[in-house]
Structure 1
Amino acid sequence: MTLEAFAWLGMAAYAAHALEEYTLDWRNWSRAILGLPVEWSDFYVTNAVVVVLGIAQAMLARTLPIAVLAYTGLMLINGFFMHVMPVIRTRGRFSPGVITAVVFFLPLGIATYRFAIESGLADAWTVVTGLVLGALILAFPIGMLLIKSKPYFRQDPTPV
């Protein structure tokens, strides 16, 4: 196995994850449980960006391994904090996306980091950097959702 293969598997896992979230109504779950003011258009754009990032990180795997580790960090953090933890916190209420998070994201993420470490592509600092970048990638669209309704960011037409 190569880091590039892990990267493409991560991309495929994210595609399956988006399908699970869409099919099982992640929008309404996230509004009720996470309190996010999300619309389906937000979901579509965010997941389109994640797909583009997934393709880019897989194509850059040989020359920029941190791109793969950042995407893997995104998978791990999203899977654990946005899906597994809410199921635990709500005492078992299903989270759309938790199936692919547990079956794909967590095992594949751990295997990717393990491979990177064992093959000499990553050390402790690189692993931490990948996780931090993954957290920032996840935080960006959430932050955008939270500020878009603030008066400064609203793009309502001005009255004439």
Structure 2
Amino acid sequence: MSFELWAWLALMAYTLHILEEFSLDWRNWARSVIGLPVEWSDFYLTNAAVVVLGFVQAQMSDLLPLAPLSFAALMLINATFFHVLPMIVTRGRFSPGTFTAVLFFYPVGFGMFFAAAQEGKLSGATLMGALLTGALLMAFPVCLLKAKGLPYFRQAP
């Protein structure tokens, strides 16, 4: 399967993941288990941005392999640190999104890296850049959620 096709499958996988998280109440899980001060509006906006990033990364797969590989890294980081590890730490308390993370994020994420390697699009620098960018993409909305509660960022009169 081509690298470009894997990139489009990543968008499909993330879309299904968003549906699972919404349907199984990820917001309340995130508030109670990992202490994120997230509201549904935050969830909607963040995931709308992820869908846009999904389209962009798939379109850029031939021109800039770093984009889809960063998206793959984002998927792998999300699956591991926001679904699988929290379930292990909480001794099995279900994290909404785990089904699609395990069934889709791991195979598609690793498939993207393998396809990139087979097509000569994966260097050591690209791998490190993708992992760093994926981590930054995952951290960015979390940092914004944490920052919005700080006095400096409050916009109320």
**TM-score past 0.5 threshold:** yes
Cα offset, 1:93, TM superposition: 0.6
Structure 2's unaligned 5+ residue stretches are none
**1:123-138 superposed matches below 5 A:** 123-138=123-138
Distance across 1 between alignment mates of 2:141 and 2:30: 13
Which residue in the other structure is 1:106 paired with? 106
Identity %: 54
- List aligned pairs for 1:5-154, cutoff 5 A: 5-154=5-154
- In the superposition, the TM-score normalised over structure 1's length comes to 0.96
Aligned residues: 157
Runs of 4 or more, structure 1, over 6 Å off, are none
CA–CA separation in structure 2 for the residues paired with 1:116 and 1:65: 8
2:57 touches 2:67 (CA, 8 Å); kept in 1? Answer: yes
Separation in structure 1 between the aligned mates of residue 151 and residue 97 of structure 2, nearest angstrom:
32
TM-score using structure 2 length: 0.98
User: Using the alignment, how far apart are the partners of 1:125 and 1:77 within structure 2?
Assistant: 19
| Structure number, greater radius of gyration | 1
Question: How far apart are 1:125 and its partner, in Å?
Answer: 2.4
> 1:118 Cα deviation (Å)?
2.1
